[in-house]
Structure 1
Amino acid sequence: MSDPLQQSQDSPEPELAPAPKPDPEPKPETPKRRGAKLWTRDFVMGTIVNFVLCANYFMLMVVMTSYALNVYHAPASVAAFCASIFIIGTLVARFTTATLMARFGQKRTLAIGAATEIALTAMYFLGASLPLLLTVRFLHGFSYGTCSTATATIVTAMVPPERKGEGIGYYMLSVTLGAAMGPFAGIYLSNNFGYEVLFAVAMITAAISVPCVLALRRPAADRAQAARDAGAPVAAHAA
């Protein structure tokens, strides 16, 4: 007979169940990073500047052909050119504004352009001759192109990089609102109150841009340019 003790020694030992793994310690929640501020004073002021100048542009554009026909008795093609020559001036300004900003600074270029917009809008009151109207329209388009380019440069530079798309989208609403309100105001005022009232409202609208431009902080590019200009004589003297 086999020994029971020997059998118990020869039998395999039962496998032990693996010990349960301890629950991992919960990781502390990392605080969510708050997005950089978008609606700063400078962003709001720059957007308002673009809105009022766009409104001024569209307010006059939609009535300029009828104005040239009714007041100057211009041929239809010339009357239409009185409206479209504004766009030619704007196009020319796209190629020259970068040079102006590099020489005079972004904010100063915008301030001069805004003041010029007011002066040129006031010149519509003169009503001297058709060639003068064409000249004023071209210069008005040039000043508008200068202002819109300078404003876009200043505003896009101050938008936080992580909110660039959102910021530019909100900024471009100023163009949309100006295009929506300007034509309505232009046609309504000219039909109900006359061209002189229209020009006065357009001039006041453009004038709103001046205090907004002055409220803008000096752009970083202007400060850097001023620092380089201040250091240039020192560097030349040291050499």
Structure 2
Amino acid sequence: MKAPSRTDVSPALWTRDFILTTLSNLFLFTSFQMLIPTLPVYVEQSGGNEFSIGLVIGIFTVFALLARPFAGKALDTLGRRKVMAIGLLIFILSVAGYYWTTTVFLILSLRVIHGIGWGIATTSFGTVVSDIIPAQRRGEGMGYYGLSSTLAMALAPLFGIWLVEKTGFGMLFFVSTLLAVISFLLSQIIRYPDVSVFVPSPEPKHRNRLDEWLEVKALFPSFLAIMLGLTYGGIVTFITLFGKEAGITNVGWFFLTHALMVMIVRPVAGKLFDRRGHVWILLPGAFFTAVGLLFLSYSNNLLSLILASVFYGIGFGAIQPTLQAWTINRVAPNRRGAANGTFFSGFDLGIGAGAMLLGTIATATSYAVMYRISIVFMGLYLITYSLYLAKSAKKSA
């Protein structure tokens, strides 16, 4: 029997640096996710009202979005290590600073800095891991890497609430800061690639200043990410209020089930992407996402809520890492920072716009109707993606 040649053997995925990057990302996301359900309560205790709470959430998203294009350019020019360290240090200082904030104004001011640190750090992680993962296993690698943020999403909010109830906000901010410090320490022993060895892509004939901050080749996957983000923004912002409207007491099961399905689907979708391409994941993923939203809009008990979460989790878990892997595959290595910045900015934009747009719809109708209307975004996703496939097939012919 003929022994497999060197080219037949798949390159290693679970390398030292891949594991370190994934663990560092896990600690960062755990630190972040602990604050999502607890900060609104802290704002309320500091004298804030519903508008203040919404502003605290919104201003963070805005400044994270604004920071990403700058982070992407810096990653491609200054190097991965410096930018990663800067982002994580800003994140650490802002989380620690919550301990000394006593007014809503101070919390809002700190949220600006926190958002900038988060935008830089997460864009850096996405770029570094795309450098480390072998190109032949990028879909699979992105799927496994994404499990770190999914695991944090499932467990950290519950841990944060438990800490506040048992020990208070002081311990919450201490633990969150400690986890971010561990993330920073792990990031310092990653062997970062030398950006200077990446072969620059040819300069476009009519280069404009926008090209310095955004990657044009990442725009189409980023548009699809915006469509997905619009639906996700409606879920993370209003699922608790929808539960009250529908008479479902414990909507936390939606997030636990969602996280579980994402953890199961990501590795499978990643391997399928590497072997068959994006079309095998992005089309079925959109179908599952739309069905999940439809089931959610008609949920009136815990069982139907969990069923909706299963469908939405499968769709979300398949689409999000596939779009990111596809984005990286479309660009030159020396443009990965800009590509990741463009992609994450699109997803953030979708979440923020979804929260505002769908909130307006819910005010005029109901949360159930809002979720039905949000299916339109997945319809736009399917239409534009189908047109892209038709155009690509025509070019190939």
TM-score, normalized by length of structure 2?
Answer: 0.47
Contact 2:17 2:190 (8 Å CA) reproduced: yes
The alpha-carbon deviation at position 224 of structure 1 amounts to 5.5
Query: Which structure dedicates a bigger proportion of its chain to helix?
Result: 2
Paired letter, 2:117 = S
Q: Distance in 2 between matches of 1:94 and 1:139?
A: 13
Please name the residue that 1:168 is paired with: 142
1:1-12 to structure 2, matched below 5 A, reads none
Q: Distance in 2 between matches of 1:165 and 1:101?
A: 22
Contact 1:38 1:167 (8 Å CA) reproduced: yes
The alpha-carbon deviation at position 83 of structure 1 amounts to 2.6
Please name the residue that 2:44 is paired with: 69
Q: Distance in 2 between matches of 1:223 and 1:122?
A: 37
Contact 2:12 2:134 (8 Å CA) reproduced: yes
1:154-165 to structure 2, matched below 5 A, reads 154-165=128-139
The structure showing larger relative contact order (alpha-carbon pairs under 8 Å, at least 6 residues apart) is 1
Paired letter, 2:9 = R
Instruction: Choose which of 198, 205, 219 in structure 1 pairs with 2:179.
Output: 205
Please name the residue that 2:21 is paired with: 46
Larger Rg: 1
Paired letter, 1:31 = P
In structure 1, stretches of 5+ residues that fail to align are 1-27, 226-239
Q: Distance in 2 between matches of 1:128 and 1:193?
A: 18
The alpha-carbon deviation at position 66 of structure 1 amounts to 1.0
| C-alpha RMSD of matched pairs (Å) | 1.7
- 2:5 is aligned with 1:29: no
Please name the residue that 1:214 is paired with: 188
The alpha-carbon deviation at position 80 of structure 1 amounts to 2.6
Please name the residue that 2:30 is paired with: 55
Paired letter, 2:34 = M
Q: Secondary structure at the match of 1:208?
A: helix
Runs of at least 4 residues of structure 1 off by over 2 A?
28-34, 222-225
Q: Distance in 2 between matches of 1:120 and 1:223?
A: 34
Contact 2:79 2:194 (8 Å CA) reproduced: no
Please name the residue that 2:116 is paired with: 142
Paired letter, 1:58 = Q
In structure 2, stretches of 5+ residues that fail to align are 200-397
Q: Distance in 1 between matches of 2:88 and 2:72?
A: 16
Distance 1:222 1:176, change over 3 A: farther
The alpha-carbon deviation at position 220 of structure 1 amounts to 3.0
CA deviation string 1:84-114 (max 9, x = no partner): 3222222112221112223421111001111
Contact 2:65 2:119 (8 Å CA) reproduced: yes
Please name the residue that 1:15 is paired with: none
Identity value in percent: 30
Instruction: Choose which of 74, 78, 98 in structure 2 pairs with 1:100.
Output: 74
